[in-house]
Structure 1
Amino acid sequence: MRDGESEWGGRGGGGAGCLAHDMGLSVHIVCAVNSNDVVARFIRTGQYALADRVHPSLAPAMDVQVEVVVPTGGCGNTVAGCLAHDMGLSVHIVCAVNSNDVVARFIRTGQYALADRVHPSLAPAMDVQIPYNIERLVYLFSARDTGLAKADLQATRCATVSLDLLKKIQTVLGSYIADDNDIREAMRQCWHDNGYLVCPHTATGAHYHFGQTDSNLQRVCLATASPAKFTEAVLSAGLTPQPTQAIERLQHLAPKYQDVEQTDDWDAILRRAITDISQHHLQATM
């Protein structure tokens, strides 16, 4: 994690040390499991082991390659797939991205170049300008070259890997770009053909799948979120939202939040919040 950046909500007056020190695992048994956390990468490798066996025709032979289509924003799930590949699973990964295509361009050209701005899309979790796991991909495919992986890509805004390294990346990773129209189309087709409503992020991978013609290739598309969270996208596709009971209950709860100014002591505020939540949970379990 870079100095001044907190997993609790970006930059501000501190807070980055809350989980790393006495407020973390040792006292309150709390940690952040998101795309920055390498532990989450290890956990998600299990998806690829399941994908490698999910189709009945794969049961007799583990060496049959499976194509796994991964809706991609920060590349966290992609890193998990690359770890699974390193462990011996025969998978080829297609990174499906939206109109913010920095990851696709990196896989295709080897150039990591940031766009001028993020383009808001129907798949907001993939509206990523800086995919913070790119360094981990470089690390994995460069034979763990930490010097190369530590290049300050955010500062330079542009970097290019060697042709040899790019070829290694492309043996495992491919890419696909789906814009908002593609997302709507895939959501509609998946619903009409299968009676299955997908979220707009999952739809990027589904759109890739619907456009493929090789029926002999075994393919698994990862679904990344519930469509109940993205009513606007569902309506935009001309479909009917299907909220779950849990989501419907949330709509009737009073919002809880605290306004925080940049000049406030974020570290102290977060510490108080963590302590209060931890004590409430402890009391509820006694």
Structure 2
Amino acid sequence: MKYISTRGNAPAKTFTEILLGGLAPDGGLYLPESYPQVTRDELDGWRELSYADLAYEVLSKFATDIPADDLKAILRKTYTPEVYGNARSDSDTTQIAPLRVLEPGLCLLELSNGPTLAFKDMAMQLLGNLFEYALAKQHAELNILGATSGDTGSAAEYAMRGKRGIRVFMLSPDGKMSAFQRAQMYSLDDPNIHNIAVRGVFDDAQDLVKAVSNDLDFKARHRIGTVNSINWARVSAQIVYYFKAYLAATATSAQEVAFAVPSGNFGNICAGHIARMMGLPIGQLILATNENDVLDEFFRTGVYRPRGTKETYHTSSPSMDISKASNFERFMFDLVGRDGAKLRDFWSRVDAGGSIDIKGSAYWQALPEFRFASGSSTHADRLRTIRDTWTKYGVMIDTHTADGLKVGLEQRREDLPLICLETALPAKFEEAIREALDRAPERPPALEGIENLPQRVEVMDCNLGALKQYIATHTAG
């Protein structure tokens, strides 16, 4: 299996060759040359597998240059109940990513029982183990640069803390995350973890990461890699739980399902898109945004118009406060028939601050083939959905999951079971939960009082030179 750039001007590489990097040299994102296919007989044969063994069946189709025994060992080390089974006290702790049936035809896929209480742990813990494996093989070191709107940062830091040969430089928007999210990241005192709060919004932080990645000399000199969802290994790991959810929700592979996915950077739902392209019977992919509705606007109108800093709202589902979705480029590459020249044309407009309009084109005509629906949600919608879910099912959900459930129920096809992807536990957003339910969310005992711990963070203007200087200073020697 070789990987190519969405922009068509980079050499094809293997899984391990792109594992430690981020953007391709031409500024594009890596995707497989073609998507491996899964037959219905294969699907039915996977129904009784553990999560780790299912992950092997899926990921062995992508990581073809990692020996089978090594990949199996990494996956079995990663996906254990000890790591993923202790966050929500009313979960089925014998399973990883258990499917909770709210009512017939409506399910919640629990993805937030990992160490940082967010779905990002599902891929990030694996990424940490893959990095350690690859670096040991190469006798090398890696400096990870990432940006987070809330959950990616803590998931990455918890996965990489103490890992030999790895340093983490994580950018976040200053003052734009919940108190719990800030505490999870900034209270870590591991010497290989560096938190940088950027004066601005998430898109500013993400643009800095891309700018560093596009400086190929600096990137090589300082051994820069990434854990953002622009890293292919993260997306591929997320594909696994779509298969897990489907197998848990169906009796035979002749059935189709719908997924509702809260989305900011398009990474989570991009994994669902790829699972469908592989042959998973997904009849509908429902994309949910909050008030930052750039992606919903595209699927409704054909116009992709990233917003500026002043147009990005700070909301009660802050991990989705994103107005320039990195992984959307991967989907658009498929939509335009994997035409790198056309993708470069589109993204030259985006990178220059412009927009894309496909309305009326052949691409607009082809869009329904990809089975997307979309919608948006507001603060009032989130509170109402949290209250309704608690009252009707006795299940407490966070604000992002509420966005997904609200839009999923509005947009679902009635003939399909609906699976809503949980993105975080309510404990991470206590203020909104108190507003909705007049009670505090459950919190794992180990995380009680985390906001009171000392915090270590560098606050910085949105300045590429200052960021490079900070990285160079802290990677010297």
Query: 1:94 and 1:188 mapped to 2: Cα distance?
Result: 22
* 1:270 Cα deviation after fit: 2.6
Q: Does 1:106 align with 2:304?
A: no
Larger CA deviation: 78-87 vs 113-122: 113-122
Q: Does 1:159 align with 2:356?
A: yes
* 1:197 Cα deviation after fit: 1.4
The question of whether the paired residues in 1 share the 8 Å contact of 2:259 and 2:286 is answered with: yes
Matching of residues 45-56 of structure 1 within 5 Å: 45-55=239-249
Equivalences, count = 266
* 1:45 Cα deviation after fit: 0.8
The question of whether the paired residues in 1 share the 8 Å contact of 2:386 and 2:398 is answered with: yes
Matching of residues 73-152 of structure 1 within 5 Å: 73-91=264-282, 92-115=284-307, 117-150=311-344, 151=346, 152=348
Give the match for residue 406 of structure 2: 207
Task: Map Cα deviations across residues 13-41 of structure 1 (whole Å, 9 max, x no partner).
Answer: 9854699436548xxxxx43222222211
The question of whether the paired residues in 2 share the 8 Å contact of 1:36 and 1:132 is answered with: yes
SS of the counterpart of 2:458? coil
* 1:233 Cα deviation after fit: 1.5
Task: Map Cα deviations across residues 121-142 of structure 1 (whole Å, 9 max, x no partner).
Answer: 1111111111122221110122
Task: Map Cα deviations across residues 88-146 of structure 1 (whole Å, 9 max, x no partner).
Answer: 11112100111111101101221112346012211111111111222211101222111
Matching of residues 188-227 of structure 1 within 5 Å: 188-211=387-410, 216-227=415-426
Query: 1:260 and 1:239 mapped to 2: Cα distance?
Result: 36
* 1:42 Cα deviation after fit: 1.2
SS of the counterpart of 2:230? coil
Inter-CA distance 210–80: structure 2 relative to 1 (3 Å threshold): closer
Query: 1:100 and 1:197 mapped to 2: Cα distance?
Result: 24
Larger CA deviation: 63-72 vs 157-166: 157-166
* 1:265 Cα deviation after fit: 4.9
Query: 1:86 and 1:48 mapped to 2: Cα distance?
Result: 12
* 1:169 Cα deviation after fit: 2.6
The question of whether the paired residues in 2 share the 8 Å contact of 1:130 and 1:154 is answered with: no
Give the match for residue 68 of structure 1: 259
* Root mean square deviation, CA, Å: 3.0
The question of whether the paired residues in 2 share the 8 Å contact of 1:69 and 1:96 is answered with: yes
SS of the counterpart of 1:217? coil
Query: 2:287 and 2:328 mapped to 1: Cα distance?
Result: 12
* 1:208 Cα deviation after fit: 2.6
Task: Map Cα deviations across residues 190-226 of structure 1 (whole Å, 9 max, x no partner).
Answer: 1122222111111011113444786542110001112
Identity of counterpart residues, as a percentage?
A: 23
Query: 2:465 and 2:361 mapped to 1: Cα distance?
Result: 47
The question of whether the paired residues in 1 share the 8 Å contact of 2:412 and 2:418 is answered with: no
Give the match for residue 184 of structure 1: 383
One-letter amino acid of the counterpart of residue 83, structure 1: I
Task: Map Cα deviations across residues 48-80 of structure 1 (whole Å, 9 max, x no partner).
Answer: 11122121xx222x1321100000101111211
Inter-CA distance 36–263: structure 2 relative to 1 (3 Å threshold): closer
The question of whether the paired residues in 2 share the 8 Å contact of 1:74 and 1:126 is answered with: yes
The question of whether the paired residues in 2 share the 8 Å contact of 1:96 and 1:205 is answered with: yes
Q: Which of these residues, 240, 253, 257, is aligned with residue 453 of structure 2?
A: 253
The question of whether the paired residues in 2 share the 8 Å contact of 1:107 and 1:170 is answered with: no
Larger CA deviation: 192-201 vs 254-263: 254-263
* 1:12 Cα deviation after fit: 6.1
Relative to the length of structure 1, the TM-score reads 0.81
SS of the counterpart of 1:121? coil
Query: 1:210 and 1:81 mapped to 2: Cα distance?
Result: 18
Inter-CA distance 216–34: structure 2 relative to 1 (3 Å threshold): same
Larger CA deviation: 89-98 vs 208-217: 208-217
SS of the counterpart of 1:21? helix
The question of whether the paired residues in 2 share the 8 Å contact of 1:73 and 1:97 is answered with: yes
Give the match for residue 125 of structure 2: none
SS of the counterpart of 2:300? helix
Relative to the length of structure 2, the TM-score reads 0.50
Task: Map Cα deviations across residues 140-183 of structure 1 (whole Å, 9 max, x no partner).
Answer: 12221112222221324221125322233333211011111111
Q: Which of these residues, 39, 43, 66, is aligned with residue 233 of structure 2?
A: 39
Give the match for residue 113 of structure 2: none
Inter-CA distance 145–252: structure 2 relative to 1 (3 Å threshold): same
SS of the counterpart of 1:46? helix
Give the match for residue 267 of structure 1: 468
One-letter amino acid of the counterpart of residue 244, structure 2: L
